[in-house]
Amino acid sequence: MPLTSRIPGLALPWRPIAGDAPMAIATVGEWQWTEAARLVRECGGRLVALWGSDRRDLDEDDDDRAFAVHAAYAIREGLCIVELLVPESKPSYPDLSGLFAPATRMQRALFDLVGIAARGASDTRPWLRHGAWPEGTHPLRRDFDASSLPANTLTDYDFVRVEGDGVHEIPVGPIHAGIIEPGHFRFSIVGEKVLRLEERLGYVHKGIEKRFEEFTVPEGYRLAGRVSGDSTVAFAWAYAQAAESLLGVEPPARARWIRALMLERERVANHLGDLGALGNDAALAFALAQFMRLKEDWVRLSAEIFGHRLLMDRIVPGGVDADFGAAQAERLVGQSHAIEAEVRELRHIFEEHAGLQDRFFTTGRVTPELARTLGLTGLAARASGQSNDLRTDYPAVPWTEIGTRKAVQSQGDVAARVNVRFEELLESLRLVRAIAVGTPAGPCRTELPAAAPGALGAGWVEGWRGEVLVVLEAGEGGRIRRCHVHDPSWQNWPVLEHAVIGNIVPDFPLINKSFNLSYSGHDL
């Protein structure tokens, strides 16, 4: 579907990108790079992702086109990607963080990985580089040689210091109890009240974007589905969309419906787990036991019908690698009805539990104004009055046929994020039933043509946590030249730092769980 409109007020040579949502890309100069960001900001758009790439192998004799920086913006008309080519002699671009707060960490990561600096940025500290590669080395450059790297060296990080009478720090992590992934949280507090929180992430950086270069376009879905295990369907679907966009193919109708079924089952599984954990963090262990019982039943049926508890590797470029029949559809519908009845009963318990509501209400509040300013996205944004949801904003099959209702709250506290989860959970259970009985007959997969070098594709999917973006470029021999994968946690981790301000330290686990952001999807 081509983009039907452009960034208002800026004439650019847009090139349509095929896909389920309206998308287009344009190459810009420096003044247009900044002007595009300003105009998107003025029209209420948001920054979705920011990344860079090394082009020196494509234009060996052209210093002015050695590198490229890309910014993807969501506006009312669709997704607009602007590309700025930068010279090797001056690998830099104008800073965007003054217009879009989420750009700060993306720009820091971009420099760590590609070595292109945000000119004028106030925060240039390393973000993903934890001593795994030395200063001046950038893993996403084409001449990077991992075999020549020295041993890891421990590096200090310049945390922001808060000083004053009675102020002290509590460092938490990066190693945590249980199986939680590593992340460092530096609290500045007076008594038990939090004055400031600063995060440091990147401890599970895995080199995924570099690893993509070793796969062909049809093979990359397996790696995409392992970016963040709790969002394997969303990432695999976004990758499949990008591959199909690049190759100029459309998956069969039945495959589209089955993909949506899997996406909603992934959403249900995560909301069940999070609601149980939220109850447990507020001292209602009963909730954890009941919701985890329901989640276990849910993922077991996914394994029985589709072959994997998390539905990993079921979505492939060109379609799906799984199917179901009439008897299995009955089981999907029956389970959905049964779990909905229990979820409604548990919600009533939540709402009538005075101690639980006391912990939820006003805790970790993000106002609608702050959510807009900081670029909050996904379910957390919908709990703060931001109504973006790709399933309804840019509907494709099957959403065009069965519809989906947005769950939006405005108070932006833990209670609101809990309520959004309940509403989305109930809606997803309805969608599972509608898809199970409405999926059309037909093939589940289509053949893929060879990828043309230089072809570009993009995929954009509303995962349970928020929007997942994959932008894919083909190289020689059908291999992946560049694949950028973006998790919504990039936008939301900085907002968590603001949500905890003014709360007491013991409420941080509850606030943190109400967002439940991804370390793995962020660190790549």
- The CATH topology of domain 15-139 is Beta Polymerase; domain 2 (3.30.460)
**pLDDT exceeds 70 at position 2:** no
**pLDDT exceeds 90 at position 362:** yes
Q: State the pLDDT at residue 446.
A: 96
**pLDDT exceeds 50 at position 332:** yes
What tokens were used for 69?
């920086």
**pLDDT exceeds 80 at position 6:** no
Mean pLDDT of 271-285: 95
pLDDT tens track for 336-361 = 999 999 999 999 999 999 999 999 99
Q: State the pLDDT at residue 371.
A: 96
Q: State the pLDDT at residue 1.
A: 44
pLDDT tens track for 34-48 = 999 999 999 999 999
pLDDT tens track for 194-216 = 999 999 999 989 899 999 999 99
What tokens were used for 52?
């860079």
Cα end-to-end span (Å), the chain: 29
**pLDDT exceeds 60 at position 523:** yes
- Helix (H) / strand (E) element for 484: namely strand 480-486
Cβ(95)–Cβ(121) under 8 Å? yes
Locate tokens 């603001």: which residue? 498
- Looking at every residue in the chain, the average pLDDT score rounds to 93
Mean pLDDT of 430-458: 96
405 pLDDT tier (thresholds 50, 70, 90): very high
Q: State the pLDDT at residue 35.
A: 94
Select from 199, 26, 197, 209 the least CA-distant residue to 112: 209
**pLDDT exceeds 60 at position 5:** no
Close Cβ partners of 319 (under 8 Å, ≥ 6 residues apart) = 251, 252, 255, 443, 444, 445, 446
**Bridging pattern class, strands 78-86 and 67-75:** antiparallel
**pLDDT exceeds 50 at position 375:** yes
Mean pLDDT of 81-94: 94
* Domain layout of the chain by residue ranges: 15-139, 164-205+492-505+516-524, 207-249+451-486, 252-447
Mean pLDDT of 15-26: 92
What tokens were used for 147?
């075999």
Q: State the pLDDT at residue 11.
A: 83
Q: State the pLDDT at residue 99.
A: 95
* Superfamily for domain range 252-447: Cytochrome-c3 Hydrogenase, chain B (1.10.645.10)
Mean pLDDT of 473-497: 96
252-447 shares the fold of 15-139: no
291 pLDDT tier (thresholds 50, 70, 90): very high
Peptide bond into 174 cis (omega under 30): yes
Cβ(523)–Cβ(485) under 8 Å? no
**pLDDT exceeds 90 at position 147:** no
pLDDT tens track for 209-238 = 999 999 999 999 999 999 999 999 999 999
Mean pLDDT of 120-141: 91
**pLDDT exceeds 70 at position 185:** yes
